[in-house]
Amino acid sequence: MALEFTTSCLQDALALFRMYKKLGDGAMAELEDADFTRTLDPEMNSVAQIVKHMAGNMRSRWEGFPEADGEKPDRNRDSEFEAPPQGREAVQALWERGWGYVFQALAPLSDADLGRRVTIRGEAHSITQAVHRQVAHYAYHVGQIVFLAKHLRGAAWRSLSVPRGGSAAYNQRVAEGRASQR
């Protein structure tokens, strides 16, 4: 994520959401179709299950936000970890739909709204708290997706950030970029 100075909590959160979506997009782009439902052991979730859970959470938290409770009565969280969607297209459709809820809910808000009261499972939160809660939740699961994708791809993995052994070259490019902006 390119650093952009901001004093807007909402704009910063949106940038973080976009960054985590991009990381997940990149990790899933590297997977073979069969990798979406693979796990490392029977207790672990596959990428497809993680995406199904995230999409369920995103719909529940953000549909009707900020007026509706962030835990919809028709959500069955346990089912999100069963019967993973099959195929890249099905997983990616859930992924895109879930992120659509996030960005659609936050688009009309401004920092002036951040102190407003919302509820999640009947518990009061400020919009700031609700947003921070979800940034942390999505970062956690995108980290799982990246970890699993990297493990499954092994030597074929292409780094989504600074590749191993590439720090010096990266730092040089950053320094050159800063010098050209002066």
User: Is residue 180 in a domain?
Assistant: no
User: Is residue 139 in a domain?
Assistant: yes
Q: Answer yes or no: is pLDDT of 2 > 60.
A: no
Q: What is the pLDDT of residue 4?
A: 64
Q: Give the 3-state secondary structure of residue 171.
A: helix
- pTM value? 0.88
Domain coverage including residue 112: 9-160
User: Is residue 179 in a domain?
Assistant: no
Are residues 172 and 164 in contact, defined by beta-carbon separation less than 8 angstroms?
Answer: no
C-alpha–C-alpha distance, residues 53 and 76, integer Å: 10
Q: Which residues contact 172 (CB under 8 A, 6 or more apart)?
A: none
**How many domains is the chain built from?**
1
Q: What is the CATH number of the domain that holds 124?
A: 1.20.120.450
User: Is residue 165 in a domain?
Assistant: no
DSSP secondary structure string, 47-83? Answer: HHHHHHHHHHHHHHHHTTTTTS-SS-TT--GGGGGSS
Beta bridge partners of 126: 117
Residue 179 — very low, low, confident or very high, per pLDDT cuts 50/70/90?
A: confident
Residue 174 — very low, low, confident or very high, per pLDDT cuts 50/70/90?
A: low
